[in-house]
Chains A and B, each alone.
Chain A
Amino acid sequence: MNKHIQTIIKGNLSAAAPQGGCGACQASCQSACKTSCTVGNQVCVK
Chain B
Amino acid sequence: MIWETYAFAKNIHLYRHGGLNLVYDVNSGSLHLLDAKSYRWLEDMIKSGAENRAAAGGDLTAAERGEITREFDQLAREGTLFSPEAELPPPYPETETPLLKAVCLHLAHDCDLACRYCFAGTGAFGGERGLMPLATGKRALDFALARGGARATLEADFFGGEPLLNTAVMRALVAYGRDAAAALGKRINFTLTTNALRLDDDLLEWLDLEKIGLVLSIDGRPAVHDRMRPLRGGGGSYAAVLPAVLNVARRRAAASPYALGAYYYARGTYTRYNTDFDRDVLHLADLGVGRLSVEPVVGGGGLALREEDLPALYASYDRLGEAYLAYAADGRPFSFFHFNAGLDAGPCLPKRLKGCGAGLEYAAVAPNGDIYPCHQFVGRSEWRMGSVYDEPAPPPPEIARQFAGAHINAKKACQSCWCRFVCGGGCHAANVDMAGDLREVYDLGCRLQRKRFEVAAYIRAREALAGSAA
Question: Which residue numbers of A lie inside 8 Å of B, CB to CB?
Answer: 2-17, 20-21, 23-45
Contacts and interface: CB of A to CB of B under 8 A. Distances in A.
Contact of B84 (A14, A29, A44): A14
A33 B152 contact: no
Nearest to B33: A6
21 contacts: A5-B32, A5-B35, A7-B80, A8-B32, A11-B28, A13-B29, A14-B28, A14-B79, A14-B85, A16-B348, A23-B99, A30-B426, A33-B159, A34-B159, A35-B337, A40-B352, A40-B421, A40-B422, A40-B423, A41-B341, A43-B260
A30 B34 contact: no
A29 B119 CA distance: 15
Contact of A26 (B72, B101, B348, B350): B101
Nearest 7 CB-CB pairings of A with B: A11-B29, A40-B422, A21-B350, A14-B86, A17-B348, A32-B295, A39-B424
Contacts of B62: none
B231 interface: no
A4 B352 contact: no
B411 to A, nearest CB: 14
Nearest to B360: A27
Contacts of B265: 35
A32 B184 CA distance: 33
Contact of B347 (A9, A10, A35, A44): A44
A39 B29 CA distance: 13
Contacts of A17: 348-350
B97 interface: no
A37 B27 CA distance: 21
B345 A20 contact: no
Given A23-B151, A36-B338, A30 B293 contact: no
Contacts of A10: 28, 30, 78, 80
A31 B357 contact: no
Nearest to B460: A8
A13 B421 CA distance: 9
A41 B291 CA distance: 14
Given A4-B37, A11-B28, A17-B348, 11 more contacts: A8-B33, A9-B343, A9-B344, A10-B28, A16-B348, A26-B155, A27-B102, A38-B422, A39-B355, A42-B342, A44-B345
Nearest to A37: B259
A45 B32 CA distance: 26
Contacts of B346: 13, 39-40, 42-44
A26 B102 contact: yes
A5 B424 contact: no
Nearest to A27: B102
A31 B469 CA distance: 38
Nearest to B296: A32
B340 interface: yes
A5 B34 contact: yes
Nearest to B420: A39
Contact of B348 (A2, A3, A35, A44): A44
